[in-house]
Amino acid sequence: MSKPLHSSVKPSLIVRSLQPENQETPIQFINGDTIDPNLFYRRNHFSYPLLTSSNYWLPINGSVEIPRLFSMQEILNIPSKMIKLVLECSGDKRGLFEPKVFGEQWQKGAISQGYWKGVPLRALLELTGIKKGAKEVVVEGFDYGKRTDSDQVYSFSRSLPLDKALHPDTIIAYEYNNQPIPLKHGFPLRLIVPQWYAMASVKWIKQIRVIESEFQGPFQVIDYVYYPNRENNIDTLPVTTINVNSTIQKPLDREVLTTGFHFINGIAWTGNGVIIKVEVSTDGGKSWSDAKITNQKKGNYEWISWTFEWPALEKGEYTIMTKATDSFNRTQPASPFWNRKGYGYNSVDKIKIKIE
Amino acid sequence: MSKPLHSSVKPSLIVRSLQPENQETPIQFINGDTIDPNLFYRRNHFSYPLLTSSNYWLPINGSVEIPRLFSMQEILNIPSKMIKLVLECSGDKRGLFEPKVFGEQWQKGAISQGYWKGVPLRALLELTGIKKGAKEVVVEGFDYGKRTDSDQVYSFSRSLPLDKALHPDTIIAYEYNNQPIPLKHGFPLRLIVPQWYAMASVKWIKQIRVIESEFQGPFQVIDYVYYPNRENNIDTLPVTTINVNSTIQKPLDREVLTTGFHFINGIAWTGNGVIIKVEVSTDGGKSWSDAKITNQKKGNYEWISWTFEWPALEKGEYTIMTKATDSFNRTQPASPFWNRKGYGYNSVDKIKIKIE
């Protein structure tokens, strides 16, 4: 008469806000090699623009030799490349800062991974040519609206310095995981900037402009800037490269477990180089052991998965911590680099569990 | 070419764990009079039992004059009543306790409201009769499994003292919002106990037993007990009546708003009597003003909605707090009653926002 009900339990995103839509992935479901579109975190500043590809043209203008309008067909005719990479919101883990900061209170799930296919931005810029005084490439999205700090309407626009724009792996993508890019993730074209936090990977590209100055848009010079001081704007730094980081996916924080052997699992990633070591502590940081890295990365921009078998033989409360180190010897700090807008949190990951 | 994309943004539950399934409602979507089954929080100790009503019988036995097996048809033939009530998990808001406690880290969304229709438990017990020495009524659910603290298998069972079991509004429900009870919320029969935290409202009823002693099941004497001390089991109290409480639904914690008039909205509820007052502070508790109660409750077991229009004319950071008071003059405390398993959190609700 009674049997377990299987398979009807489906994971879904965790809502942070609906207008604009901001939702994150429950970390226990980041277990695959790539994230399905339905579990891909969503981070927006404005309403979704609704675009069709039938009449889509990509303009490239500004400080170029020949301004051009590229049709989708022209773009599809250029040799493509596929890149597997981590996209992490620079506000990922913002909710963990102490003292707390304002803005979306992301926990640990504003991160994703998948295959993006498209053409190098460099290939398009070779077709337009770049003038001598060129300094930055501004990519504008179709999403726009009012910010809380101004009455003006802005589109979401970001610039890249020329060397990053011309990097062969900086692509104008048209497919995600072998499908057209989902509407909520940038259809029909999205800039993909490996190694940088995901604000750089502008969605729904409207136009690309080469400029001879430093771009001053609010998403460049107000947001996505590290402000180390609460009360002033001294010593600021732009948010760019992803910090070395790790997340414990299992067990969950504050979980109660039985005595016995448990697997502690998670992921680790970095914006520069590759992860070479993940250490785990089950005694609150007094001692550390190496976790086993269970997948060897094929590309340079992927997260690694790690696991650690823990003999939890004594009842009690345990603080479990993880610390990743990358090939540039960068490692996760014991306490986060606090900044007023809450970007780039990468302190040692920490959960507390109870064995009973 | 670009227009806003509407209607594709749907709220969903926030996953706390999947096996067993524990999910809560994002508080910003608790805006209706009743909660749809797809947004109704889910709290389970074990796997879902899968029941059909075709061969369902409800046994009532133990210290009764005539043990009986009731068919669904017999139950449906008894005069029914419909009750609109709040069901709140006693662990609602557990994640807010400081120092933190173990268990599911519920935020503010383990609460629901709707119409339950069924027959008074009292009507069934009048048909079986109750023996003189009877003390409690034990209701057992079809869900069962192992606990972390024992190797034995237990079903989820809870007892009610005789007076609560015989209260005319304590019902054996077969409908939720005019539909058969959803599979995940107790189909085909669920005990509904108004005014008590929802652990008392046993789902998937397997049998009802009248006993002459105090029930000693683990969900009665280990869980759902207030343990005021971290290190010992002194001064414990059973978890029963819902505490007076309120939740701010809008704005969200750590939201950034523009200067101007804003509505602060939320709900308030209590297990005993009715809410007579909700106060709001926008200066961290220094001064308080009455919020406007926007719906008059028709029943005794419902939450009320409240709103407060706030002229936020100066930029800065604000701590917004709410405090509900009920007709027994119970009010929300300034700091929560800490207890080791984290039940009954009802401290003044508090969020922090920024006006810029």
Query: ipTM of the assembly?
Result: 0.72
Q: Which residue has the higher pLDDT, A188 or B28?
A: A188
pLDDT in tens, B36-56: 998 999 999 999 997 766 689
pLDDT single digits (tens) B204-241: 999 999 999 999 999 999 999 999 999 999 999 999 99
pLDDT tens, residue by residue, A20-79: 999 999 988 887 789 999 899 999 999 999 776 668 999 999 999 999 999 999 999 999
Please answer whether residues A45 and A157 qualify as being in contact, where contact means their C-beta atoms are separated by less than 8 angstroms: no
Give dist(CA A234, CA A226) in Å, integer. 10
User: According to the CATH classification, is domain B14-223 in 3.90.420.10?
Assistant: yes
From CA B50, how far away is CA A243, in angstroms rounded? 47
Distance from CA of B254 to the nearest CA of A (A): 5
- Separation of alpha carbons B34 and B116, rounded Å: 11
CB atoms within 10 A of CB A39: 19
* Residues A195/A202, Cβ–Cβ less than 8 Å: no
Chain A environment of B204 (Cβ under 8 Å): 2
Q: What is the DSSP secondary-structure string of A160-223?
A: EEHHHHTSTT-EEEEEETTEEPPGGGTSS-EEE-TTB-GGGS-SSEEEEEEESS----HHHHTS
CB < 8 Å to A101, chain B:
254
3-state secondary structure of B49: strand
d(CA A31, CA A263) in angstroms, rounded, equals 14
String of DSSP letters for A286-326: SS-EEPEE-S--SSSS--EEEEEEEEE-S-EEEEEEEEEEE
- Is pLDDT of B145 > 60? yes
Note the pLDDT of residue B12: 85
pLDDT (tens digit per residue) in A252-284: 999 999 999 999 999 999 999 999 999 999 999
Q: Give the tens place of pLDDT for each residue, B166-199.
A: 999 999 999 999 999 999 999 999 999 999 999 9
pLDDT value for B6? 39
- For chain A, what percent of residues have pLDDT higher than 70? 96
Q: What average pLDDT does chain A have?
A: 93
CATH 2.60.40.650 range(s) for chain A read 245-355
- Bridge partner list, B281: B321
* pLDDT score for A7: 40
CA distance A41 to A91: 12
Nearest to B270 by CA among B205, B351, B196, B204: B196
Torsion from C-alpha of B246, B250, B255, B259, nearest 10 degrees: -120
pLDDT tens sequence across A82-91: 999 999 999 9
Which range has the worst mean pLDDT, A241-250, B67-76, B144-153, B221-230? Answer: B144-153
Q: Residue A212 is encoded by which pair of tokens?
A: 């001879």
Asked whether the beta carbons of residue B4 and residue A47 sit closer than 8 angstroms, the reply is yes
> What are A193-218's pLDDT values in tens digits?
999 999 999 999 999 999 999 999 99
Where in chain A do CATH 3.90.420.10 domains reside? 14-223
> Does the structure show a pLDDT above 80 at A96?
yes
pLDDT digits (tens, 9 = 90+) for A124-136: 999 999 999 999 9
What local confidence, expressed as pLDDT, does residue B3 receive? 38
Q: Which of residues 167-226 of A touch B (CB under 8 A)?
A: 183, 204, 206
| Residues 6 or more apart whose Cβ sits within 8 Å of residue B353 | A102, B251, B253, B254, B255, B256, B257, B317, B318, B320
**B245-355, CATH topology level:** Immunoglobulin-like (2.60.40)
Residue of A9, A16, A39, A156 to mutate when probing chain B, most B C-beta within 10 A: A9
* Amino acid code (one letter) for B283: D
More confident residue, B11 or A140: A140
Give chain B's count of helices (H) and strands (E): 4, 24
pLDDT given at position B7: 40
- Higher pLDDT pick, B13 / B90: B90
The whole-angstrom separation of Cα B347 and Cα B246 is 9
Write the pLDDT tens digit of every residue in B282-333. Answer: 999 999 999 999 987 767 899 999 999 999 999 999 999 999 999 999 999 9
DSSP helix/strand/coil, B114: strand
- The pLDDT assigned to B11 comes to 77
Cβ contact B4–A105 (<8 Å): no
Distance of alpha carbon B84 from alpha carbon B96, whole angstroms: 28
Select from B253, B303, B327 the least CA-distant residue to B87. B303
Q: CB-based burial of residue A267 (10 Å sphere; 0-12 exposed, 13-18 middle, 19+ buried)?
A: buried
B window 61-100, beta carbon within 8 A of A:
100
Listed residue (A342, A93, A351) closest to A225, CA to CA: A342
What is the rounded distance in angstroms from the CA atom of residue A257 to the CA atom of residue A259?
7
Q: Find the mean pLDDT for residues B257-269.
A: 95
In this predicted structure, what is the pLDDT of residue A9?
54
Distance between CA atoms of A317 and A255, rounded to whole angstroms? 10
Buried b (16+ CB within 10 A) or exposed e, B314-327: eeeebebbbbbbbe
Contact A239, A339 (CB under 8 A): no
Helix ranges, chain B (H) = 72-77, 121-128, 162-165, 218-221
- Search chain A and give the residue with CA nearest B16: A26
Assess A231–B contact: CB distance below 8 Å, yes or no: no
B122's tokens: 């009292």
Do B25 and B162 contact (CB within 8 A), yes or no?
A: no
Helix, strand, coil percent values for chain B (each to nearest 5): 10, 40, 50
Facing residue for A13 by CB, picked from B12, B47, B102: B12
Higher-scoring residue by pLDDT: A53, B146: B146
The minimal CB distance from B50 to the residues A2, A13, A51 is found for: A2
What band does A4 get if pLDDT is binned at 50, 70 and 90?
A: very low
DSSP annotation string for B284-334: TTSS-EEPEE-S--SSSS--EEEEEEEEE-S-EEEEEEEEEEETT--B--S
A9 Cα to chain B: minimum distance (Å) = 7
Q: State the Cα–Cα distance between residues B302 and B323, nearest whole angstrom.
A: 17
Please name the residue of chain B whose CA is at the shortest distance from the CA of residue A318.
Answer: B102
